[in-house]
Amino acid sequence: MSRIKEFNLPDLGEGLTEGEILAWLVKVGDVIELNQPIVEVETAKAAVEIPAKWAGQVHAIFHPEGSTVEVGTPIIAIDTDPGAGPVEASTTAAPASDLPTPSAASLAAVEVAPTEGMVEPGLIGGVAPGGRTAVLVGYGPRTTAAKRRPRKGGVPAQATAAPVQAGAAPVQAAPVPAPVVPAPAAPSVDGGGGLVLAKPPVRKLAKDLGVDLAALTGSGPQGSITREDVQRAADAPATAAEPLTAAAPATAAASFGADRERRIPVKGVRKLTAENMSRSAFTAPHVTEFLTVDVTRAMKALDRLRGRREWRDVRISPLLLVAKAVLLAVKRHPMVNSTWAGDEIVVKEYVNLGIAAATERGLIVPNIKDAGRLSLRELADALTDLVQTAKAGRTSPADMSAGTLTITNVGVFGVDTGTPILPPGESAILAFGAVREQPWVHKGKVRPRQVTTLGLSFDHRIIDGELGSKFLRDVGDFLTDPEAALLAWT
Question: In whole angstroms, how far apart are CA 263 and each of 151, 207, 234, 289?
Answer: 21, 10, 10, 37
Mean pLDDT of all residues in the chain?
A: 78
Q: For 40-78, write each residue's pLDDT tens digit.
A: 888 766 778 889 989 999 999 999 998 888 888 999 999
Spatial CB neighbours of 171, under 8 Å, sequence gap ≥ 6: 104, 107, 108, 161, 164
Q: Which of 21-30, 156-165, 174-183, 297-306 has the lowest mean pLDDT?
A: 156-165
Residues 109/2, Cβ–Cβ less than 8 Å: yes
CA–CA dist 13, 142 (Å, integer)? 10
Q: For 385-440, write each residue's pLDDT tens digit.
A: 999 998 888 888 888 889 999 999 999 999 999 999 999 999 999 999 999 999 99
Q: How many CB atoms lie within 10 A of CB 176?
A: 18
What DSSP character marks residue 418?
-
As a whole number, mean pLDDT of residues 297-323 equals 94
**φ/ψ (deg, to 5) at 434:** -65, 145
Of 63, 286, 442, 460, the catalytic one is 460
Q: For 349-396, write each residue's pLDDT tens digit.
A: 999 999 998 887 778 899 999 999 999 999 999 999 999 998 888 888
Q: Across the chain, which distance is largest between two alpha carbons, in Å?
A: 102
pLDDT at 370: 97
CA–CA dist 171, 160 (Å, integer)? 13
Q: Which of 28-37, 153-162, 298-307 has the lowest mean pLDDT?
A: 153-162
Residues 292/452, Cβ–Cβ less than 8 Å: yes
Tell me if residue 132 falls in helix, strand or coil.
coil
Give percent above pLDDT 70 in the chain.
Answer: 72
CA–CA dist 305, 311 (Å, integer)? 7
Each as own residue / partner, the long-range contacts of residues 276-284 (CB below 8 Å, 24 or more positions apart, any chain) are 276/423, 276/424, 277/421, 279/424, 280/421, 280/422, 280/423, 280/424, 281/421, 283/424, 284/340, 284/422, 284/427, 284/459, 284/460, 284/461
Q: For 330-342, write each residue's pLDDT tens digit.
A: 999 999 999 999 8
Query: Sign of the CA dihedral 53, 57, 61, 65?
Result: positive
Give the confidence band of 304 by pLDDT, cuts at 50, 70, 90: very high
Q: 333 an active-site residue?
A: no
